[in-house]
Amino acid sequence: MKEEGCNFYLNYRPNRMQRRLKQSQLQDFLVEHPRCHCFLVGSGCAIILILVAALIALGIRVFQVQRTPDVQENIPATETKQQVSKEAAGEKWNKLWRFLCKHHCDNSTGNLKLCPKEWQLHGDKCYWISGEKQTWNESRDDCRAKYSELVVLKEEAELHFIQHITNGAQMLWIGLSGNSRTGEWLWVDNSSYTGSKEGLLKITKAQGNSCGMLKSPKFISESCSAVAKWICETEALMM
């Protein structure tokens, strides 16, 4: 019966006349129904906690809304700094390009051609002349250690350039070796020597242990075990 009374009070909606009941009557009821009293107190506390949580959430939301304009204002400033940085980097690159192009650009194409330090540019290739003397095999290996090859001279203009940078006074190993079985001369790229077709001078028939040497203005056959300076070539870096 007491629990039914409690349910009665929970669903109870007082009108104006009933509101005038004495407070003591309600207190007497709660004393007689302690479970209802505890339930009402617990419900009230829960409602208070819910309201407090709602107020905290509302405060956080208001704080976030107030900060959003500041964050948005900083975005354009950051983008502007990045744009300025890109433009500065682009200007530095253009200055570097113009500086290097003074001596290393192909005027017909505008391409930048670069060679390693102490190498000389001619056309699309870079050339390096040794300062010491070695055998042909040692010279070939040294060029390959430099990621290059003994020079392969297939054009008359290239031969003239080599003669110019050496003043025509040096004997240099070139990338030419003989096949003693066939008497044929082969370049280090395994192509056959056909000097007469390319405007280059003829060379005597290859013999055993024969290697090619440039003795301006002609090619000569020399023992591969002889020592001489040598010349390496590699492709220029195109940019």
Give the per-residue pLDDT at 88.
72
* 2 pLDDT more than 50: no
* 3 pLDDT more than 50: no
* 69 pLDDT more than 60: no
Q: Which two three-digit tokens encode residue 157?
A: 């203009």
Q: Where is average pLDDT lowest: 86-90, 156-160, 194-198?
A: 194-198
Region 32-37: what's the mean pLDDT?
Answer: 62
pLDDT confidence band for 223 (50 / 70 / 90): very high
* 4 pLDDT more than 50: no
Region 223-233: what's the mean pLDDT?
Answer: 96
Burial of 206 (0-12, 13-18, 19+ CB in 10 A): buried
Residue 225: domain span: 115-238
Q: What is the total count of domains within the chain?
A: 1
Whole-model pTM above 0.85? no
Query: Residue 215: what are its φ and ψ, rounded to 5°?
Result: -125, 90
> Is residue 129, in this structure, part of any structural domain at all?
yes
> Is residue 9, in this structure, part of any structural domain at all?
no
> Is residue 43, in this structure, part of any structural domain at all?
no
Measured on CA atoms in the order 116, 119, 124, 125, is the torsion positive or negative?
negative
Region 136-160: what's the mean pLDDT?
Answer: 93
Cα 177 from chain centroid (whole Å): 42
Per cent of the chain over pLDDT 70 is 59
Q: Which two three-digit tokens encode residue 3?
A: 């629990």
> Is residue 7, in this structure, part of any structural domain at all?
no
Q: Is pLDDT larger for residue 12 or for residue 159?
A: 159
> Is residue 102, in this structure, part of any structural domain at all?
no
Give the per-residue pLDDT at 40.
59
Report the CATH number that the domain containing residue 177 is assigned in CATH. Answer: 3.10.100.10
> Is residue 234, in this structure, part of any structural domain at all?
yes
Phi-psi region of 119 (alpha: psi -120 to 50; beta: other; left: phi over 0): beta
> Is residue 171, in this structure, part of any structural domain at all?
yes
Q: Where is average pLDDT lowest: 41-50, 71-80, 201-210, 227-236?
A: 71-80
Amino acid identity at 238: M
pLDDT confidence band for 39 (50 / 70 / 90): low
Region 97-119: what's the mean pLDDT?
Answer: 68
> Is residue 197, in this structure, part of any structural domain at all?
yes
Q: Which two three-digit tokens encode residue 111?
A: 């391409």
Q: Is pLDDT larger for residue 131 or for residue 36?
A: 131
Residue with tokens 């109870």: 12
